[in-house]
Structure 1
Amino acid sequence: MARFLNNKDQKAGMPPGSLVFTGQHKISEPQIRVTEYNSSDLEETALESVTDIPECPAQTKRMWLNLDGIHDAEVIKKIGDSFNLSPLVMEDILDTGQRPFVEDYQDQIFTTLKLLIAGSPEQKVFTEQISFVLGENFLISFQEQPNPTFDPVRKRLMKHKSKIRNYGPDYLFYTLVDSVLENYLKVVEVMGERIEDLEEEVTDEPSKEHLESINFYRREIAYIRKAIRPVREIILKLNKLDSEFIAEETLVYMKDLPNMIDQALDSLEIYKDILGDLFTTYNMYMATRLNETMKFLTVFSTIFIPLTFLAGIYGMNFDFIPELHYKSGYYVLLCLMIAIAIAMLVFFRKRKWI
């Protein structure tokens, strides 16, 4: 499946609002976790069935419903019916190829972002879609699979005196978005360290493997930029929303989020320039090495040109050539020719010309 644009064949020809999952099944069964809390009480429950979803809490409590595994359209529809979600919202939740965006509906705010997943240096960076629905006294988050990104937020939520417990679901929404942006910075930092290590290696002595690594990281940087560049627009739009679901106190904290996106994008631009410089350095090094090789071969050829010229004129037409009378002279000469060819190949290999 293409990383820059998901396959849309499953939805081709279907009307808007059709609940069709597009993406990969990353867990076998959806997992639903409901957290109801206020400043003094907190109750967290792992639901066994989507039919166990509680109703929207009263004004005295807030609810955070998290769904891991969005491949089951029936589960999404059940949650949507319970919280009066728009069919277009449910459709966007199921479409993992969505570009990050935010939409302000009359009774809720819908936001979808990309979470970056970075493995070993040899592995590609992949994204997972995370969607949020913010409403009155509740927040719903949809993830493709369980992820530790929100674990620090859960730990803060457990503390009685934390701001999350004393503020509304809009502040919880802010902390979750902040965790996603911190994830961007961590992944960019990891990629940056790998690129800087590559820079030192290329500076010492470039090789064909380094060229492959340069092209690999150039593709990864482009993929990361595609995932996080739209998020700046989302954050700016959230800061300008005139919505009853986001309090003025929360907007104060949200105003710092664009700086995190700018930092990530600036770093990506720097690493993109570094990779461009490394590519130029590699080409210059290879051109210089080719010139040195051609210089050696030119000198080598120049030495033998006059010898070949003399042999071409006189040939081997001498009366006294002792080697002609050797019984094994032909085989000795043949072995000598093979030995010279092998020695030259070894020499060229040692000099890394071939």
Structure 2
Amino acid sequence: MLLRRFRHQTGKKTGTNTTFGQPTHSTVETDFIPSVCAYAYKTHEVSRIECDGDQNLPSLPQAGTINWIKVNGVHDQALITKIANHFHLHPLIQEDIVTLGERPKTESFGDHVFIILRVLSYDEKAELIRAEQVSIILNHDFILTFQESSHNIWDTMVERHLAGTGRLKTFGMNQLIYALLDTIIDEYFVTIGRLTEDIEKIEEHLLGKQDEQTLFAIYKLKREVLFLHKSLWPLREVVGRLLKENLENRNEESYFFMGNIQQDVLQIIEAVDTLREMLGEMLGVYMTRTDLHMGQIGQVLTVVATIFIPLTFITGFYGMNFDNLPLIKWKYGYLLVVALMGSITIGLFLFFQGKRWLAPKIENDDS
């Protein structure tokens, strides 16, 4: 399952156009109509431009404003192509937008900076990390965002901006880019928090009674943390490249914002590394307890076998077909042998008990 998510929809695509650099349709099944909405950012003011499909595209971008056009759904190739042509996007950008499962990256195409990121969310019911591809195109006058699902991760941020309660006092391009990326990073923090809660539950269960389900749960969480870690390292590269470009262009404001994003990414990576170590230690504890369990069972069985060794010798000795065995014709011989065997059993048991070779309880009392 982990490898399938990394290869998410990067295989066959529908359509007959296989020319290099031309957009091809993904095989992702969708049941919603793609939506397009635009926002015009001015100083201390944000206005919403409702786009019924692509009808308002000719009026965008508006002069004197920073325009953010967000598209939800990339399965309508005609719509994506029309938007790409209107904003003069490179054919390779169009191809990457509709090809889901791309590795996070940042590239420059003339006046456009193209960024691909993954938005991660934790499905607590299925105990899986869901990954969604987000494409962002930056220009001097506009920002384009493309999501593959109908749910928009920036809805809360937009509502705050429209209500005038957001953290941004002025809506410059740098602030808007920072707000978009910061929202994605916040989703990472939420995902890690929920994943940590499940790990702590397994850790508490591990200290009590454990079974095969505990081992399965540890391996499942370990796989999810690995997927999260693999998704974070490309994000670090993307932010690092943006930071380097802003430093080279001496854009101090944007460099400051990207620096904050980079610190958040490093903090998330450290948290994921901590989770990996926790799961590794939990797996070690599980294996150690399993080995102790088996060792204690083996110790008990060894003690039982040791007690029966002299008893088996006595019964085997008197089971020989000879008439002159000691005590064989004495009427109290049988009782004497039984008493001897009982004395040996009790003596060995007391001896092992004194040596503390009899194993204590394998499970905790509260389990």
Give the TM-score of the pair, scaled to structure 2: 0.79
Verify the 8 A CA contact 2:34 2:150 in the aligned structure 1: no
The 1:46/1:55 distance shift into structure 2, 3 A limit, reads closer
Please give the per-residue CA displacement for 1:116-146, whole angstroms capped at 9, x wherever unaligned. Answer: 0201164211200011111132111101113
1:4 matched to 2:3? The reply is: no
**Counterparts of 1:96 and 1:8 in 2: how far apart (Å)?**
6
Code of the residue aligned with 2:11 in structure 1: it is D
**Counterparts of 1:72 and 1:108 in 2: how far apart (Å)?**
22
**Counterparts of 2:281 and 2:141 in 1: how far apart (Å)?**
52
Code of the residue aligned with 1:281 in structure 2: it is V
Larger radius of gyration: 2
Alignment of 1:325-340 (within 5 A): none
Corresponding pairs, count: 322
**Counterparts of 1:214 and 1:161 in 2: how far apart (Å)?**
42
The one of 195, 204, 208 equivalent to 1:204 is 208
**Counterparts of 1:246 and 1:82 in 2: how far apart (Å)?**
31
Alignment of 1:107-256 (within 5 A): 107-120=111-124, 122-147=126-151, 149-160=153-164, 164=168, 166-241=170-245, 248-256=252-260
**Counterparts of 2:70 and 2:283 in 1: how far apart (Å)?**
44
1:81 is paired with a residue whose SS is helix
**Counterparts of 1:293 and 1:133 in 2: how far apart (Å)?**
63
Verify the 8 A CA contact 2:22 2:91 in the aligned structure 1: yes
The 1:126/1:160 distance shift into structure 2, 3 A limit, reads closer
Verify the 8 A CA contact 2:246 2:252 in the aligned structure 1: no
1:284 matched to 2:288? The reply is: yes
The 1:297/1:240 distance shift into structure 2, 3 A limit, reads same
Code of the residue aligned with 1:115 in structure 2: it is V
Verify the 8 A CA contact 1:135 1:245 in the aligned structure 2: no
Please give the per-residue CA displacement for 1:298-350, whole angstroms capped at 9, x wherever unaligned. Answer: 2222223333343344459999xxxxxxxxxxxxxxxxxxxxxxxxxxxxxx9
Partner in structure 2 of residue 338 of structure 1:
none
Code of the residue aligned with 1:6 in structure 2: it is H
The one of 67, 70, 76 equivalent to 2:74 is 70
Code of the residue aligned with 1:81 in structure 2: it is N
Please give the per-residue CA displacement for 1:87-130, whole angstroms capped at 9, x wherever unaligned. Answer: 10010111111100111222211111000020116421120001
Percent identity, please. 27
Verify the 8 A CA contact 1:121 1:194 in the aligned structure 2: no
Give the TM-score of the pair, scaled to structure 1: 0.81
Deviation at 1:10, TM superposition (A): 1.9
Verify the 8 A CA contact 1:137 1:168 in the aligned structure 2: no
Which consecutive unaligned segments of at least 5 residues does structure 2 have? 322-327, 330-360
The 1:307/1:121 distance shift into structure 2, 3 A limit, reads farther
**Counterparts of 2:96 and 2:108 in 1: how far apart (Å)?**
14
2:153 is paired with a residue whose SS is helix
The 1:146/1:279 distance shift into structure 2, 3 A limit, reads same
**Counterparts of 2:207 and 2:165 in 1: how far apart (Å)?**
52
**Counterparts of 2:281 and 2:27 in 1: how far apart (Å)?**
36
Q: Is the deviation greater in 5-14 or in 120-129?
A: 5-14
2:228 is paired with a residue whose SS is helix
Deviation at 1:212, TM superposition (A): 0.8
**Counterparts of 2:81 and 2:312 in 1: how far apart (Å)?**
86
Query: What is the alpha-carbon root mean square deviation over aligned residues?
Result: 3.0
**Counterparts of 1:15 and 1:113 in 2: how far apart (Å)?**
25
**Counterparts of 1:266 and 1:242 in 2: how far apart (Å)?**
25
Code of the residue aligned with 2:131 in structure 1: it is T
1:98 is paired with a residue whose SS is coil
Q: Is the deviation greater in 124-133 or in 168-177?
A: 168-177
